[in-house]
Amino acid sequence: MRAAVVRTFGGPEAVEVVEAEVPEPRAREVRIKVAASALNPVDAGTRSGAFGGAGKQVGLGWDVAGTVDAVGVATAWNVGDEVVALDYGMTKPVGAHAEYVVVPTDAVALAPATADAVHAATLPLNALTAAQGLDLLEPAPGRSLLVTGAAGAVGGYVVQLAAHQGVSVTALAREGDEEFVRSLGAAHFASGGVAPAGFDAVFDAAVLGERALEWVRDGGAYVGVIPQAQPAPVRGVRTSAVEVAADGARLAELVRLVDEGVLTLRVAETYSLEEAVKAHVRQAEGGVRGRLVIVP
């Protein structure tokens, strides 16, 4: 099978499409024939060597939408099931940017009934990050939440999930994104990298760090999206960072919200697997609204 990998670290040019063995599922694993897989910032980090793996082949891709085509023992999934999954791992030899991928059975959920595979592939990593980050903040209905990078893939899901929970959301984004983030459920809008202070919580999807921490009220809460890189606590503010985990049951809840129209799946552009370098170049250029998706 074909897979996008890096064997030397660097920019987009470091990405290679190579031949690899089709993986076989073991106990409590399933193999998915990949229909689509989103490209995420974590893939750029992997490509550049931020997570290690020097001297090894490192696979790219965490998101997968496709069809179960082989199962190991002790799994409830069946060949032919249309699914989505998070293929978690920083330095795996082959990732989800491939024709086939093997994942743990408890990382899998049925695919949305209302979306095609390309759109479904944008859900697992970003929506799980949003949901698990909100768990750390523990926002309550009526409380105030500032979301930085609210028009981005993670930030957009945070806005929708929090608004669905009855939280008063202020979206911090570019001026031209106001109409969009309000359509996601933001009650208030801020731009120019400046927001008022006094929020009960901040979800810092834009990685502003200490600047975003200043906008949290004394005794509030802050969550970032880079594990173990959150700013130090001040003024009694509880700080943390979400480290996403594969969770098929939670992913199934998010799929349900997609089918109910609560969550919006956004695709910016699609690329073939052979065009993986072009996809990485486009991501590096910035300004992408939605996710770039690779189709094997």
pLDDT digit of tens for each residue in the chain (296 aa)?
A: 999 999 999 999 999 999 999 999 999 999 999 999 999 999 999 999 999 998 899 999 999 999 999 999 989 999 999 999 999 987 899 999 999 999 999 999 999 999 999 999 999 999 999 999 999 999 999 999 999 999 999 999 999 999 999 999 999 999 999 999 999 999 999 998 888 999 999 999 999 999 999 999 999 999 999 999 999 999 999 999 999 999 999 999 999 999 999 999 999 999 999 999 999 999 999 889 899 999 99
CA dihedral 45, 64, 289, 167 (to 10 degrees): -100
Confirm whether pTM is higher than 0.85.
yes
Contacts for 115 with CB less than 8 Å, ≥ 6 apart: 258, 265
DSSP state of 22: P
Contact indicator for 244, 125 with CB cutoff of 8 Å: yes
Q: Which domains does the chain have, with CATH numbers?
A: 2-123+265-295 (3.90.180.10), 126-241 (3.40.50.720)
Gap between the Cα atoms of 58 and 42, Å rounded: 13
- ∠156-158-164 over CA atoms, to 5°? 105
Task: Count CA atoms closer than 13 A to 107's CA, side-chain side.
Answer: 24
Gap between the Cα atoms of 69 and 66, Å rounded: 9
Gap between the Cα atoms of 93 and 95, Å rounded: 7
H-state helical runs in 22-74:
41-48
DSSP state of 166: T
